[in-house]
Amino acid sequence: MKKIITLSIALLTGVFSFAQQALWGGQEIVSPQINENNAVTFRLNAPQAVKIELTGDFLPTQKQETPFGTFEAPGVVTLTKNDKGVWEYTTPEPLSPELYSYTFIIDGVKVTDPANVYMIRDVASVTSVFIIGGDRADLYKVNAVPHGTVARRWYNSPGLNMTRRITIYTPPGYEAGKTEYPVLYLLHGAGGDEEAWIALGRTSQILDNLIAQGKAKPMIVVMTNGNAGQEAAAGEASEGFVKPSFMGATRMDGDFEAAFPDVIKFVESNYRTLKQKSGRAICGLSMGGFHSLHISKEYPDTFDYVGLFSAAIMPREGVQSKVYDNLEGKLKIQFDKKPKLYWIAIGNTDFLFKNNVDFRKLLDDKGYKYTYYETGEGHIWKNWRIYLSEFVPMLFK
Amino acid sequence: MKKIITLSIALLTGVFSFAQQALWGGQEIVSPQINENNAVTFRLNAPQAVKIELTGDFLPTQKQETPFGTFEAPGVVTLTKNDKGVWEYTTPEPLSPELYSYTFIIDGVKVTDPANVYMIRDVASVTSVFIIGGDRADLYKVNAVPHGTVARRWYNSPGLNMTRRITIYTPPGYEAGKTEYPVLYLLHGAGGDEEAWIALGRTSQILDNLIAQGKAKPMIVVMTNGNAGQEAAAGEASEGFVKPSFMGATRMDGDFEAAFPDVIKFVESNYRTLKQKSGRAICGLSMGGFHSLHISKEYPDTFDYVGLFSAAIMPREGVQSKVYDNLEGKLKIQFDKKPKLYWIAIGNTDFLFKNNVDFRKLLDDKGYKYTYYETGEGHIWKNWRIYLSEFVPMLFK
């Protein structure tokens, strides 16, 4: 055998490496580079480019005027080119622990960093990401702890007349044991889907880490698709590689809330779950907060734990759905049954801040008990990861 | 409630859409656009760029001289800029059914298409993708058929002294039934990991579709990580967001093969499987073909179906492992036990073609029975998707 076979592993490696570079321009550039002091250096090999800029959520924001008002937009910095054509920028200060997003701007075109394979998609935008560890951000990392299982499955929803994709996290040890677990239903916002909490929310990492630290009870986390018109996330449905659009299949017409028992039925007949109110929690961000509000009051005996994260609490005028009728009457029924936790979280610059102030006033006026958690900043995933990692430790105790 | 809440859904939508564009430059450009005749138009909004090019595996190849010999590299075309600053290129001919990859080159920098969220990662290179349907390529699409479950789990490997990540496909109906299923162990190549066959190989789509068409038996597919030094795919291990490298954690020292019973033990104690030779298949591409060759002969009573896809059949000189000792003796034991299928597939321009010719000559000389399947082209995922979709229908029958 040895004689008739001549290629060596070294050659195999060489050919592949070359082929890859030739085909796709694999760059040996390191970017981003997290320096020892947690300042970060970004690099792009672009000898022929006229101008390379960088924008990211770690840069000081700048005011931007729009038809909807003045917004704080992430700043833009210009990189410096060296004599080899490599452009570079290092943050002047160390970055604090967080999962950060950025893109390069190559002669005016926003693109991900070709030297960084780690990206997240939010609706139709893809950005490069990196994590500065420490503090809470260590929850967002994969650590050397027992890991749960993440499964993408399909369930039948007679209520929406569709087979639908669903993402389910089961905690470490689930498969080997016989324990019945509590369940957290975790809902995404408009523009999201059953991938959003896993990809942008770092749910499996947060759960693995909180459970390993003994701060959270082992639980199942169910991430369904909250767009009543959609069977699955972008690229995962029979419609093909369609470009995702904000509110594309999102109807907010009450159908998703009305059909939610289909999800619970699927989960409770397919997993070892605690099938009582004290074993179920529901929470969601933005539209998912709105869904959580309505689902939890529509089925007042189902959830003992409710979380509204930056909830899009707003009337659905012109929408005919029993779900949205008689809100105050249904809230009374829900709160008379005393849920163990009704948790409202929002950032103080969120454009939905006033809606949440008004909703809390309604609850206050009625004497309904809830817990309020306010952070800085606005309607961003940074806050939703914080809210998830605050909410989960309070559940099922 | 209605009076105190003033934001409308319309405003919410508007604000989000704007914010997204402002933050990340979401473009309303459509790219790629698959035209009615299956010619494809690519567009990039880049008014300030000097030159926009495109490279992709659908363009005529061009010869490229390298230290390793002359290679056929994908061609490069230049896009044409219109008066609005949008660059465009349409393929002169319709494209035949296939999953295609491409990147733009913006003033010399290779990047993915910012208007297309669909991408695949191969080692450290990310490319944009699209599918032209029809013929075999319909197997690569998500169709309106029953879907299996894809789970990412972790298993304990005493042989590698590690907890390791594994991807497992279970066929439609698995959870609801009591059937015991056969298992295909599907191995990736050097530079790959437990995500490669799912992402680049379209395994779950191919299996869902072949099962729905009645062409394949329902089966479990196990995609393990073949890099003996690695616990999980890039970004999924405690080492963090490390840049993947070709052969980085790949050792090809026999340890992966020697520890393979850990994988089988995990699968057979966690899933309802047929626990006999006729219920097990193993195949793999490149390094995974090498692994399949060695694992199947090392455990000659375990697999009745063996597939070598563009297998990297080469001696491991200087490597001390019992696994690589006495190849011919062990092959004799394996073939004396008459596996039901020993399938060798390769493209006729593959740089490993001669290695496979030589290996087939060895089998021929000994009179060992195998089936040979030759395609055009070389060491590329297009071929490996073809081989998977040819191999799977022959299994467990």
CA dist., res. B161 & res. B168, Å (int)? 21
pLDDT at B25 over 80: no
pLDDT range class, residue A26, cuts 50, 70, 90:
very low
pLDDT of residue B15: 45
Cβ separation of A24 and B125 shorter than 8 Å? yes
For A274-303, write each residue's pLDDT tens digit: 999 999 999 999 999 999 999 999 999 999
pLDDT at A131 over 80: yes
Q: What is the mean pLDDT of residues A231-241?
A: 95
Closest of A34, A58, A233 to residue A141, by C-alpha? A34
For B340-366, write each residue's pLDDT tens digit: 999 999 999 999 999 999 999 999 999
Cα-based angle B216, B165, B125 (whole degrees, multiple of 5): 85
The Cα of B303 is separated from the nearest Cα of chain A by a number of Å equal to 23
The answer, as to whether pTM is greater than 0.80, is yes
The Cα of B58 is separated from the nearest Cα of chain A by a number of Å equal to 12
Tell me if residue A69 falls in helix, strand or coil: strand
pLDDT of residue A20: 43
CB pairs under 8 A between A and B: 298
Q: What is the mean pLDDT of residues A203-216?
A: 98
If one compares B179 and B13, the residue with the highest pLDDT of the two is: B179
pLDDT of residue A223: 98
pLDDT of residue A27: 47
pLDDT range class, residue A1, cuts 50, 70, 90:
very low
For B197-212, write each residue's pLDDT tens digit: 999 999 999 999 999 9
pLDDT at A21 over 70: no
Cβ separation of B16 and A355 shorter than 8 Å? no
Q: What is the mean pLDDT of residues A329-354?
A: 97
CA dist., res. A359 & res. B106, Å (int)? 49
B/e letters for A182-214, b = 16+ CB within 10 Å, e = fewer, are bbbbbbbbbbbbbbbbbbbbbbbbbbbbbbeee
Chain mean pLDDT for chain A: 92
Q: What is the mean pLDDT of residues A71-83?
A: 91
Structural domains in chain B plus CATH codes: 27-133 (2.60.40.10), 144-394 (3.40.50.1820)
pLDDT of residue A170: 98
pLDDT at A13 over 50: no
Cβ burial, residue A351 (10 Å; 0-12/13-18/19+): buried
pLDDT of residue A227: 95
User: Would an 8 Å CB–CB cutoff place A11 in contact with chain B?
Assistant: yes
User: Would an 8 Å CB–CB cutoff place B254 in contact with chain A?
Assistant: no
- Report whether B268 contacts B171 (CB < 8 A): no
User: Would an 8 Å CB–CB cutoff place B10 in contact with chain A?
Assistant: no
User: Would an 8 Å CB–CB cutoff place B190 in contact with chain A?
Assistant: yes
Residue pointed to by tokens 């081989």 = B387
Chain mean pLDDT for chain B: 92
pLDDT at A10 over 50: no
Cβ separation of A26 and B244 shorter than 8 Å? no
The Cα of A100 is separated from the nearest Cα of chain B by a number of Å equal to 12
Amino acid at B152: R
B107, B237, B352: residue with CB nearest A142: B237
Tell me if residue A366 falls in helix, strand or coil: helix
Closest of A263, A245, A362, A255 to residue A308, by C-alpha? A362
The Cα of B131 is separated from the nearest Cα of chain A by a number of Å equal to 8
The Cα of A107 is separated from the nearest Cα of chain B by a number of Å equal to 5
Cβ separation of A24 and B116 shorter than 8 Å? no
pLDDT of residue B19: 44
If one compares A1 and B180, the residue with the highest pLDDT of the two is: B180
A 80-119 → B contacts, CB under 8 A: 103, 105-112, 114-119
CA dist., res. A200 & res. A99, Å (int)? 9
Q: What is the mean pLDDT of residues B181-193?
A: 97
B8, B26, B234: residue with CB nearest A125: B26
pLDDT of residue B331: 98
For A304-321, write each residue's pLDDT tens digit: 999 999 999 998 888 889
% of residues, chain B, pLDDT over 70: 93
Distances (CA, A) of B192 to A15, A24, A139: 16, 16, 27
